[in-house]
Copies of this chain bind each other. A is one copy, B any other.
């Protein structure tokens, strides 16, 4: 037994850093037994030194400068919990790797933008780049994809990757309220940030999806190729229609190989209400991997918060202490394929389209003609109660078609005089059980 402690440095002592300090303090014996050696916090760095954090920093060397700590502290591994795709966080990771120190990070933005370069640097230094905490919090989904499902060719990986969005959509569903009202409530409860755009505009989900796609398909991390839509345009009316049609609306991140390349997209989806992922509610996260041998495998749990994130960081540290070394993104960085991205216009699927139309004879015929002109075939039309003076909602469900055709249809329909609001479109995602 190697009794040498794994000395680590922690950069960032916010919610997650505090959770990790607590975990290491609480579970010292357990970690040592499992890892074969103690895990010891030898150095820390944060913005303010004097702050009362509710935990002791005794025995850990203090650094005002996290990047300097990463380069100079006498540690084997550096844990980066600062956040942000560039700046100090990036410097911390680069310095640590340059000095041959393992890096553990919860930073999805950093990995989405610089993951491939960091993985190369880690391999060059023969150290680990570990980021279980960056995707789906405490759910060990990176490990599952990179190791547990390593025998499979995946036809798709998708998930609910942002708890804030899932909370808002769940609340909208349950209370039949509009987005703005539920967002304001989520903000007052601390479930959404004062500036919620990172979450509700889908960017956070896109960061995580880019990481999942790389791990799943052995391609370089390609955040810029992700098609991103958020949930601001989801309305109570669409949620009600979804319900009527047997669907739930979820913000999913979805990646899959297609004949045109890897498709990566984040957008609200209509999913079968009986599918496991449709029932993942509130702040929970879930990831589904469709493998050729394993079938569909679902991983579900808490996607954020001090405890779950610390749990994921601790798992990475135990791996490092045990001497486990696996390629960060499933295959060695040098063997990651260049990302050939499938453009969103090539996406194929079924679509939900809701129009607000003047309730006059011939309107549905006009819309049906617009669909037919682009060879988009209809599966269903739903019309709500007639109302002679106001606009009425009409819903069209299409058969599978190409996004480019759907875009042309939407533009044409938006221009119709009888259609009084821009059409709303939500993609329908078929799920395997």
Contact = CB atoms under 8 A, between A and B. Distances in A.
Contacts of A317: 151
B295 A301 contact: yes
Interface stretch (A7-15, A77-85, A324-332, A398-406): A324-332
Contact of A27 (B151, B279, B325): B151
A149 B315 contact: yes
26 contacts: A19-B293, A23-B151, A27-B152, A33-B331, A33-B335, A34-B150, A34-B327, A138-B291, A138-B294, A140-B144, A143-B148, A144-B144, A147-B318, A148-B312, A151-B312, A151-B315, A151-B317, A151-B318, A279-B279, A284-B433, A293-B310, A293-B311, A293-B314, A294-B301, A295-B308, A300-B300
A302 interface: yes
A359 interface: no
A149 B294 contact: no
A353 B247 CA distance: 38
A323 interface: yes
A294 B312 CA distance: 8
Contact of A151 (B33, B152, B296, B311): B311
A153 interface: yes
Contact of A295 (B148, B302, B330, B433): B302
B138 A144 contact: no
Interface of A: 1, 19, 23, 26-27, 30-31, 33-36, 132, 138-140, 143-144, 147-153, 218, 276, 279, 284, 291-302, 307-308, 310-315, 317-319, 322-327, 330-332, 335, 433
Nearest to A274: B279
A151 B310 contact: yes
A132 B174 CA distance: 39
Q: Which of A27, A149, A317: most chain B Cβ within 10 A?
A: A149
Contacts of A147: 140, 143, 315, 318-319, 324
A301 B293 contact: no
Given A279-B279, A314-B150, A300 B301 contact: no
A95 B64 CA distance: 57
A318 B145 CA distance: 12
Contacts of A319: 147, 150
A220 to B, nearest CB: 14
Contacts of A331: 33-34
Contacts of A23: 151, 293
Contacts of A140: 143-144, 147-149, 297
Nearest to A275: B279
A151 B310 CA distance: 8
A23 B150 CA distance: 11
